[in-house]
Structure 1
Amino acid sequence: MYYLEIQRADSELLASIRHWDNLKAAISDEIILVKDFTEEQIHSSLLRQIPGIKLYELREQLLFFKGSLLPSKKLPSALLWSPIARALPIQLPKYNLNFFGIQEKVIIKLVPTDNVRTSFALLSKLEIVEKSIVVLPEIRVKSLQWVVLEKRALFLGTPLLPFKGITYWRLNNFLLPTGYEFELPLTSGIVEDLLNRGKENWILVQNDNSCIVIPKNDFKQLSLSSFRLSNKQVF
């Protein structure tokens, strides 16, 4: 069995593997341990791209550096293991779109618009979704992707579900509130590059000009069973 170790302060670096729902994680005061990797996962390029990790093999309750014949340390005892998505919930940092440093300042904001755009995303409270999704046929939800943001659900795709919430339209990798657009749309590419930094993210822009950056790998196909499972973990 393989184990991954990373400093707890660097937990956000594990965002790229949170969608591997077979993994389990345990958190101590200073480190995070992750286990239950498959052979394919342990040799994947995703792991090689995460800085500062240590990979171990477990033999007789001793951890050996991957490929080493000498033990490094004992496996810590009394660890509480949880599914990785539950142990490492998505953080919701808010970025000020009006400031990127002294030399990278970009003034940008949302303004109301009469232009009609197709809604592509819906942000709704989990308690609202829970009451309504159970009566929908499976065929109605299987074309959508979704992710949990604290106690809210963000759905992507069309046609959207008939739930109360905030709808968004798509501009490249931005999700903008319906009825709004960027005041200076030509600067949106600059902002996207600054926020994404070469990674694959959706950028959820809110009415106060702040935004939430969400890795695309965190989204999964919507199904009634996946919703029930994730909803139990949140509540």
Structure 2
Amino acid sequence: MTRFANQTVLVTGGTGGQGSSHVRAFHAEGANVVIGGIDAERGAALADELGPRARFVRLDVRDESSWSAAVHTAESAFGSLNVLVNNAGVQNPPATIENTDQATWSRILDVNVSGAFLGVKVTTPALRRATGGAIVNVGSIMAMGGTAHYAPYVASKWAMRGLTRTAALELGRDNIRVNTIHPGVIATPFIHEPAAGATAAISDFYSPAPFAVPRLGEPIDVTRLLLFLTSTAASFITGSEYVIDGGLQLGPALQAETA
């Protein structure tokens, strides 16, 4: 399929487990891809693998000038920017609020909230120049409730919900749609490896056994939803939130006893 032929997609955190899945899928669907990230070695390798329709840009999402450089790369290399995927995010080491230092709090919100805010701010003029497009902010199932020991991350993803709805209201008349995806527990290094300063990974606290769909999610599960939301098939969808968690929020799927 070539749903995204002649379109350019910028994916932040584009070298990670979910990000690289998104990049590869958009590219396979005909898009030009701009891989935003801070790991230059992995980013350059991915761009080389994909070929002439791919570029890597070192993108620190906390820095407005870094965003401007990424947009310039997209437009100068491919003529336009049509889709932004605000995928970059960081996790805090688990700690109670009482034992969370302010530096950790600020770092998580700077990346997860300010980074998404700057992405919307800086890419909007480019999306207008392209006569419209789509933005998807990648949130988290943790934005749908509270999670002990993860206050900075939870707060950042709750904030993204408000940012998405506000941006959707402001940009809808410009033919720019803004939506959010909230993944559950997805099998990536982000889940399986401890955050900086932590000794346990998030996956240590979750077993998929009680889920309605009793497995961890895979990056492609999220990617498929992302492709739909950024395609013309979703042209009447904006300001919406999509949870993709295998039924985690539903509660445990208890098995009836058999005689």
Q: Which structure has the larger Rg?
A: 1
Fold match by TM threshold 0.5? no
TM-score bracket for this pair, using the shorter chain length: under 0.3
Question: Given the two structures, how large is their TM-score scaled by the length of structure 2?
Answer: 0.21
Considering fraction of residues, name the structure with more strand. Answer: 1
